[in-house]
Amino acid sequence: MKIRIIVIVICLLLLLLVLMLIDSFNHNYSDAPVQSDVIVMLGGDGGRMQKTAELYRAGYADYVLITPVVETEFLSQSTKLAVAYGIPEEALIKEYEATSTYTNAAITMEIMEEHGFDSALVVTSDYHVKRSKYIFDKLNDGSFDFKYIASLSDDGERWYEGPGASHIWRSELIKLWAYRFGLYRWSE
């Protein structure tokens, strides 16, 4: 009887592991952009800034929040690059403190509340949308309407087409499950 229970538990754990692995490859979520109060660009590669500028120029929002802003010529989350892509300085809301997706979400909601914003397009890399959506939705008490927009890499590739695909997959698998287990404050 004990062996039967052990076998059933092992089979259930293996099934759970297989489902986790299958889910880990599905990073193709993206909402259709809609008119919003602000476009939020989560810091990262240049594809995010390109997509943010495209949405801004298309008139989806009057403001762009970059979280965090890093003012170097080598990073894609600087105000200089945003202006070069056609986003005027006066449309930029700059945030300098975020260190993780969790702090991006928490600080973004504080800034949105301060500015009286109700809605946002959250722009991030295609591989990062699932985790971003998870934590923004978890921290949102229903006060804000978020739409999540996936961007491609600087080279226009999807996450799984680039040379670092296996690293991205492993990293996102670990971080997403850390978030799901409530470890998001310490996972990055």
Residue 73's alpha-carbon distances to 42, 77, 84, in angstroms, are 17, 9, 12
DSSP code of residue 155: T
Q: Is the pLDDT of residue 13 over 70?
A: yes
Q: Could you tell me the residue ranges of all domains in the chain?
A: 30-154+165-180
* Better-predicted residue by pLDDT, 87 or 8: 87
CA–CA distance, 57 with 51 (Å, rounded to integer): 10
**Burial group, residue 181, by CB count within 10 angstroms (0-12, 13-18, 19+):** exposed
How does pLDDT run across 139-179, given as a tens digit for each residue?
999 999 999 999 887 777 776 677 877 777 787 778 877 78
The overall longest dimension of the chain from CA atoms, in Å, is: 71
Residue 127's alpha-carbon distances to 34, 74, 172, in angstroms, are 21, 22, 8
Q: Could you give the angle at the alpha carbon of 78 between the alpha carbons of 38 and 119, nearest 5°?
A: 10
Q: Determine the distance from the C-alpha atom of residue 2 to the mean position of all C-alpha atoms in its chain, rounded to a whole number.
A: 45
Q: Does 30-154+165-180 carry CATH code 3.40.50.620?
A: yes
